[in-house]
Structure 1
Amino acid sequence: MKPLPNQTNTSKLAIPSNKKGLAAIGKYKYGLLFASPWIIGLLVFYAIPLFSSIYFSFTSYSILQPGEFVGFQNYQELMRDSLFWKSVYNTIYFAVLYVPLSIIFGVALAMMLNMKVKGMAIYRTIFFLPTLVPHVALAVLWMWLLNPGFGLVNGLLNMIGIEGPSWLGSEVWSKPSLIMMSLWGIGQAIVIYLAGLGDIPEDYYDAAEVDGANWFQRTFHITLPLLTPVIFFNLVMGIIGAFQQFTLPYALTQGKGTPANSLTFYVMYLYDNGFKFFKMGYASAMAWILFVIIMALTALVFITSKRWVHYQGK
């Protein structure tokens, strides 16, 4: 007797749950196998050190001794550390001035380099070249340029009757000097701004020109609003980079932060505590404070971006 069409043989379709699990593992085993080097690297070089540093921040651990659990003692000592607050001030000073200036100069230079002029590829290359210079070589170069006695910058100022300051030897001018050096190497951001300018359709400019809009109106009503996603990206990356400033001031001062600790930045002081004084617990506490600060500022930028970042098609 043949079974009716609506009848099914459930005994043939039933699959044990353990076989389903084996089948799922077999399905993804090759993917997991190929991804295993990345997964192992993520665990060994990122996840384990990350969670270990949380524990070490509550201990007196050093490289030479295992240390003991001290609770919030490291964080309490940081609040009483005058050099810690000096490094915080220097870092915030640098970030508050450098990040806006890098955006202003980056956008302005990108707009200039986006003009249809013969040989523009050469000009773009010239502006990008400083980013290829290592920070140590850049520090040596600017130490010569800003030398108060025979530097090129003070020499040019003397030619127009202005007495140049001591620059890196002055507590007042040392951080502005560092900001100037950092602005010299914003070619990477300029390339990103150029890519953003290239994504803006020409139809908007044609329509604005037909309506009689001048250059100023086209810039502030078309270019800048449609460039805000790129500005937003560079703003976030600029904040993160500014609070992690290390190589350039360290090379300029040989790690001393002179004069009068005016160039002692947060990450420099963190490095000194960890690898000079072997206070790894103290340095781990500093690292997590920095993490919280950067995350808070990044979250603030993301929250406020809904008001000023405009995406095409929205």
Structure 2
Amino acid sequence: MKHFKATLLLSILLFSFMAQAKLSFKWLGISGFVLSDEKTTLVFDPAMTRVGLLDFLPFTTVQSDKDEVDYWLERCGVTSIDAVFVNHAHTDHVIDAPYVARKFKAKLYGSSSVMNVGRGQGLNNDQLQEVSVGGEWKVGDFTIAAFSTPHLPHVLGITLMDGDITSPLTSPTSAWNYRAGETFSYYISHPQGNILFQAIGRVTDDDPLKDLKADTLLLTIANRVSTENLIKRFNTTGAKTVIPLHYDNFFKKMKREGEIDEFWGVKTGEFKESVSKKAAGVKVVWPGYCEGVGI
């Protein structure tokens, strides 16, 4: 009898362990990704539609390429989405967010500027949740907290398309109308592990992310102050896994096969070399588009 009870208890514990949701990450290009625990699916910064340099010429307009978005979501195996989070309202972060939210009847989260992109492109108020510092949002077993992390200047101290989107932004429209608004980084808590999505390439001694601990760090490396500077975030979070983001060329269409087109000036080789020398205990993962990573 004792043997039977012990076997039954062991079986229950084993089943419970096996039944625990598996947390997975899939990259959508730039800083976009899918995060799922097999019950709930979140999407961050969907921008599979690529806005090229010529799309910034006068009298040129841009809009979400629904066929391209559908292709990549299907390739990533996405069949449901519960929430869409956006870190700021430039095209390379938000352009596909309203379409994705409409398609899956998901709620869109972001700044007031992101809300106006959603309003102008078919989302009703029930699908819009403005994000604010100090707020937390529960989606399934995920808890998402927002932290204000201002966008870094692009060149000569100037941030292109700075400012806010103050009224509903219809589509198609000029790429220049996608003003950044407030930029947020997100801390994502889950029973299977905590994740920090740092949306900017800088670490400061007094920044709002300095006390956050995470198992996995999703780190924007474009326009970074330096690799040494970003390695500080490895140390403050204690993350054992780092997934770099925002290093592919967002002016070019995503390649369906072959190597990823890297953005000029991101210097991924230098990043890899510096990390291998100064953060050898950290696992850095470079997944391809839609390649699943367990976290």
Question: When the two structures are superposed, what TM-score results if normalisation uses the length of structure 1?
Answer: 0.21
Question: When the two structures are superposed, what TM-score results if normalisation uses the length of structure 2?
Answer: 0.22
Structure showing greater relative contact order (alpha-carbon pairs closer than 8 Å, 6 or more residues apart): 1
